[in-house]
Amino acid sequence: MTAIDDRVTGIFENLEVPEGFKAELIRGEIVMMAGPDMVHNLIVLAIQHQIPYDRWRPLTTQDLAIPGQTSEPQPDLVVFERGAVEEHGRLLPSPSVTLVVEVVSRTSVDRDYRTKREMYAEGVIPAYLIVDPIEGRCVLLTELDGGAGTGQPRYMSERTSKFGDPVPVDALGVTLDTADFQRYV
């Protein structure tokens, strides 16, 4: 990290985020957004309730540390195996995460589909689920290629399904029921 990166990280860590807002550090930029829509929250809750708690920890509002990056994203849901990390502190190391979920909002489309796709692959997260209430679909990204030749890991498998169709998440050994997922009005 550079001195500028350290300064940005220091500012971010001490940032007082107004109530009703969320802030993330994305590739050296502090991104602030309004709190989520109820449709968004109900989708996150529906997914969270389908993750078996006896094996997995599904957490909301958990910041990630991505090695080698000036990024501390806060996915809508992170899932990691019980016992994978010490369960304290603000930052969860991305290599210990099995699945991240982002629910797209009107202002996060590019960030969720492009920037975070790259960032989570670089963070060596095996599965990334994009839930899109604008389009009424889920996109599950898996199978990291390791970045052979480019040094930039990428998701090689992309499975798209519409709301109402089951979404098998092999990394967790679950199939998500999306029947209750709603689109934004």
pLDDT score for 102 = 98
Give the E-state strand segments of the chain in sequence order.
Answer: 21-26, 29-34, 56-59, 63-65, 77-81, 91-93, 97-103, 127-132, 137-144, 155-162, 167-169, 174-176
54 within some domain: yes
End-to-end Cα spacing for the chain: 42
pLDDT in tens, 134-181: 999 999 999 999 765 566 899 999 999 999 999 999 999 999 999 999
Residue 5 counted as domain residue: no
C-alpha to C-alpha distances, 149 to 117, 125, 142, 146, 154, nearest whole angstrom: 19, 20, 19, 9, 11
In the predicted structure, residue 3 carries a pLDDT above the cut 70? no
Based on the structure, what is the number of domains in the chain?
1
User: pLDDT band for position 98 (50/70/90)?
Assistant: very high
User: Does the structure show a pLDDT above 70 at 48?
Assistant: yes
pLDDT tens column, 73-83: 999 999 999 99
Whole-number average pLDDT of the chain: 89
Which residue type occupies 102?
E
Q: Model-level pTM greater than 0.75?
A: yes
- Whether residue 133 contacts residue 183, with contact meaning beta carbons closer than 8 Å, is answered with yes
Higher model confidence: residue 13 or residue 179? 179
Between CA 160 and CA 137 the distance in angstroms is 7
Within a domain: 2 = no
Instruction: Give domain status of residue 10, yes or no.
Output: no
pLDDT beyond 70 at 19 = yes
CATH number of the domain to which 58 belongs:
3.90.1570.10
Q: Residue 15: inside a domain, yes or no?
A: no
Q: What are 104-125's pLDDT values in tens digits?
A: 999 899 999 999 999 999 999 9
How much is the pLDDT for 80?
A: 97
SS3 24: strand
Is residue 127's pLDDT more than 60? yes
Tell me, what's the pLDDT at 25?
Answer: 75
Residue 116 domain-assigned (yes or no): yes
Q: How confident is the model at residue 6 (pLDDT cuts 50, 70, 90)?
A: low
Q: Which residues form the domain of 142?
A: 36-176
Q: Is residue 19 part of a domain?
A: no
Q: Is residue 93 part of a domain?
A: yes
Going from the C-alpha of 156 to that of each of 32, 131, 144, the distances in angstroms are 30, 18, 6
